[in-house]
Amino acid sequence: MAVDRTGTTAAPDRARRPCDLCDAAIGKVLDAGELGRLNGIATAVTLEAGGTAFLEGDDSSYLFNLVSGSLRQSKLLPDGRRQVTGFLFPGDFLGLSTAGTYPYSAEALTAAALCRFDRVSFIRMLEGLPRLERHVLRLASRELAQAHDHLLVLGRKTATERIATVLLKLVARIGELGSAGCTLDLPMSRADLADYTGLTAETVCRTLTQLRKRGVIASAGLRGLHIPRLDVLAGYSGDL
C-alpha cells in the first residue's frame, strides 16, 4: 500500500474487487463480463476523515466512485474564503472535469472508501461500452442540475428557506425514515453548512434553533437531527 500527501491509501490488490462495492452506482448497468473489465482498471482507495481525494487545480488524472462515507466539494474564492459546492454520498461519481485540472477539492467528512479509475483508461472503456457511457452522461447531467439548484438556494431564498431546502436534500440522500419521522446523522459541521448556503455559521445555528423551537426539527445526538414531519419542513423551504 502507498499513502500520498493527502491521506489517501491506495490498495491495488485485486482480491478486494473494488467494483463489487461499486455495483450500486456503476456496475448495475453492466453485465458480469463488463464489470470484470471495469474492475481491471480500478484501484480501491480509502480516506481518513480530513483526507483529500484531490485538490482544486490538481491534474484531473483520475475519476472516482464513492463507495462509503461522505465527501465535501469546495472551492477557494480569490479572497481566500471557502465556498462549499456540494456534499457527496455513496453512489456519487466525481472528477468528471472536462478541463485538465479539477475545478474543486474533494475532502472526506468521514472515513471513506472509493474506487479510483485512470481517466484515459476509463474514457477508452466508455468508447466500447455505450451503456456505461450513457450512465456516466446521466451522472454528469445530474451534477449540472444540482449546480443549478444550488444557485437558486444561494440567490433567491431566505436563511430559513435555504436551511430547510438543504435538510430536505439530505433527507433524500441519507435520511432514515421511520414511523415517527426521519432521522439525519449529519456528517458535516455547521461551518460546512454555512459555506454551502452562503450564510454565516451563527446564522445557521440561529436558524436551526428557530426550527427546533417551532417543533420542525429536534436534536438527536451530537450532529443528528430528527424531523417529525417532512411536509412541515417542506413548508419552510419556499418550494411549495
pLDDT at 26: 65
More confident residue, 115 or 137: 115
Provide the edge-to-edge strand list for the sheet that holds 52-54: 52-54, 105-108, 71-76, 82-88
More confident residue, 11 or 157: 157
Cβ within 8 Å of residue 63, ≥6 positions away: 93, 94, 95, 96, 116, 117, 119, 122
Architecture of 2-154 per CATH?
Answer: Sandwich (2.60)
Spatial distance between the Cα atoms of 23 and 25, rounded to a whole number of angstroms: 5
- What average pLDDT does this structure show over 133-151? 78
Residue pLDDT, tens place only, 164-206: 999 999 999 999 988 889 999 999 999 999 999 999 999 999 9
Spatial distance between the Cα atoms of 47 and 112, rounded to a whole number of angstroms: 5
- What average pLDDT does this structure show over 51-55? 96
Task: Report whether CATH 2.40.50.140 matches the domain 158-235.
Answer: no
Q: Is the Cβ–Cβ distance between 115 and 44 less than 8 Å?
A: yes
- CATH 1.10.10.10 occupies which residues in the chain? 158-235
- CATH 2.60.120.10 occupies which residues in the chain? 2-154
- What average pLDDT does this structure show over 55-82? 93
State yes or no: pLDDT of 140 exceeds 90: no
Residue pLDDT, tens place only, 7-41: 555 544 443 444 555 555 665 677 777 788 888 88
pLDDT at 178: 86
Spatial distance between the Cα atoms of 114 and 182, rounded to a whole number of angstroms: 27
